Amino acid sequence: MAKSFPAHKVKSHLVYTVWEAADVLGCHRQTVIRWIRNNGLAGDTSRKPWLIEGHVLKEFLGHKQSKARCKLPLHHCYCLSCRGSREPDGKIADYVQETASSGRLTALCPTCGAVMNKIIRRSDLEAVQAKLEVTLQQASPRLVSCTEPHSKVTLKMEPETHVKTHLG
Ligand SMILES: [Zn+2]
């Protein structure tokens, strides 16, 4: 996950040295130097100490953070096995309510087939359902036996003992 920086603490009208900028943002000075060297942060490096105008830094951070947010769309999961944002295989996922306001989305990685988990807010579920076919699962087996007839529970056990018949 990309670290987020308190861009709101940067004052647009001030000019910061690398040291001061790092201090305000609570990051290492090397991080700020790297932004200037490699990530396109426009600093004045013609003399020491390097100077960065507040509004430039603010804009840079805003850009950086909105980019980080876009990285993982709501209906995508992060695959820990092949390391990347993935749209669930077959656009299907399971959702298990875990708390009153959030639940776990489970899907398969289309690239490597690993199981991906993601905690989403209950209020985001509709948005996810607009993109994926989400199957709502019961959280606890006890709930299932309370709400469903006994015969159905027995039925659910059957696939485990069911053996595929060989053809030919
Ligand atoms: Zn994967």
Q: What CATH number belongs to 77-150?
A: 3.30.420
Write out pLDDT tens, residues 99-125: 999 999 999 999 999 999 999 999 999
For the chain, give the percent of residues with pLDDT over 70.
76
Ligand 1 centre distance from Cα of residue 76 (Å) = 12
Write out pLDDT tens, residues 5-44: 899 999 999 999 999 999 999 999 999 999 999 888 999 9
Per-domain boundaries in the chain: 7-71, 77-150
Ligand 1 centre distance from Cα of residue 83 (Å) = 6
Ligand 1 centre distance from Cα of residue 86 (Å) = 7
Ligand 1 centre distance from Cα of residue 131 (Å) = 19
Ligand 1 centre distance from Cα of residue 94 (Å) = 17
* Average pLDDT for 123-128: 95
Ligand 1 centre distance from Cα of residue 163 (Å) = 29
Ligand 1 centre distance from Cα of residue 97 (Å) = 24
| CB neighbour list of residue 128: distance below 8 Å, 6 or more residues apart | 74, 75, 93, 95, 105, 120, 134
Global model pTM greater than 0.85: no
